[in-house]
Amino acid sequence: MLEKIRYSYFTLAALTALVQKIVTLISTKLPESQMIIALLARFQPQVETALQAIGSTTKQPLTEIVTAADLRRDNTYRSLRDHIKAGLQRQNEAYRTACETLWSEFVKNDLKLYNMARDKQTAATESLLADLRKPENAPHLITTNTNDWVTELDTDNQAYVAAATQRSAARSVDDTVHDAEAFKDLKTSLDLLENILNTMTVMDDQRGIDEVVAEVSQYISEANAAAKQSQSNGGDNEEENNDDTE
């Protein structure tokens, strides 16, 4: 059976490179298979589109603004969270008690909400803000001197929403194929290729099919490892995996 592609590790550029290698191989090794010929005809325009789309999302000025707004609210959230966490160690009982109460609100809404998909992060941040601003928490915000900090988080969250809304409006009139769409199209065709090759292997009605499957699996295995390594090298100490789906 064909090796599975670990799509979560791949950028569009890496997936496109893998597709190009696979297409070259199967077009040479299985030139007479009608199913393969039909699939290759499907792959060709998708690869061309993917090559044009690589980096298209991050190249958009509005995307840079959205990314910056998201990072700003992440940093404000983290600094506020860490300030309250540090207060849990205070000897001052009143201050520590206030932090313990506020900390429970952070725990309730996810201590790493910045790892959520961005739309879910927005909702989680709004929920946290509502909890922190409950009447019973008002004295605790005063004790920890965090009223202004909470207001900053609210402002930063709203700024992100405004930037994301502006970008969505711009995209609605933009017919450019972007990274995510091109990636999805390639994945659909690769899943179809997997089904075809596995079926041909089981039926054993194509000369050399086992060799082809072995070679394609080797390509996939090497690409999986390289993509995983690349993703690991690109991470930081506190990973943020919130995807850009808005």
Q: Is residue 245 part of a domain?
A: no
Predicted pLDDT at 118: 86
pLDDT at 123 over 50: yes
Provide the whole-model pTM.
0.50
Q: Residue 110's pLDDT band (boundaries 50, 70, 90)?
A: very high
Residues with Cβ within 8 Å of residue 25, at least 6 apart in sequence: 212, 215, 216, 219
Q: From 152, 171, 190, give the residue that closes a domain.
A: 171
101 and 36 in a common domain: no
135 and 33 in a common domain: no
Predicted pLDDT at 233: 74
Structural domain containing residue 226 = 7-54+179-233
Mean residue pLDDT of the chain comes to 86
91 and 112 in a common domain: yes
Q: Is the CB of residue 207 less than 8 Å from the CB of residue 57?
A: no
Q: From 171, 196, 214, give the residue that closes a domain.
A: 171
Predicted pLDDT at 234: 61
154 and 74 in a common domain: yes
pLDDT at 71 over 90: yes
Predicted pLDDT at 31: 84
Q: From 154, 171, 188, give the residue that closes a domain.
A: 171
- Kindly write down the DSSP assignment for every residue of 64-122, as one continuous string: HHHHHHHHHHHHHHHHHHHHHHHHTT-S-HHHHHHHHHHHHHHHHT-TTGGGS-HHHHH
166 and 99 in a common domain: yes
Cα–Cα separations (whole angstroms), residue 22 to 10, 29, 62, 129, 203: 16, 10, 35, 50, 21
Averaged over 81-88, what is the pLDDT? 97
Predicted pLDDT at 170: 61
93 and 133 in a common domain: yes
Q: Is residue 77 part of a domain?
A: yes
Q: Is residue 246 part of a domain?
A: no
Other C-beta atoms closer than 10 Å to the C-beta of 63 total 19
158 and 229 in a common domain: no
Number of domains in the chain: 2
Q: Is residue 2 part of a domain?
A: no
| CA 130 – CA 105 distance, rounded (Å) | 10
Predicted pLDDT at 172: 54
List pLDDT tens digits, range 176-189. Answer: 557 788 888 999 99
More reliable by pLDDT, 170 or 212: 212
CATH value at residue 130: 1.20.1440
Other C-beta atoms closer than 10 Å to the C-beta of 190 total 21
Residues with Cβ within 8 Å of residue 199, at least 6 apart in sequence: none
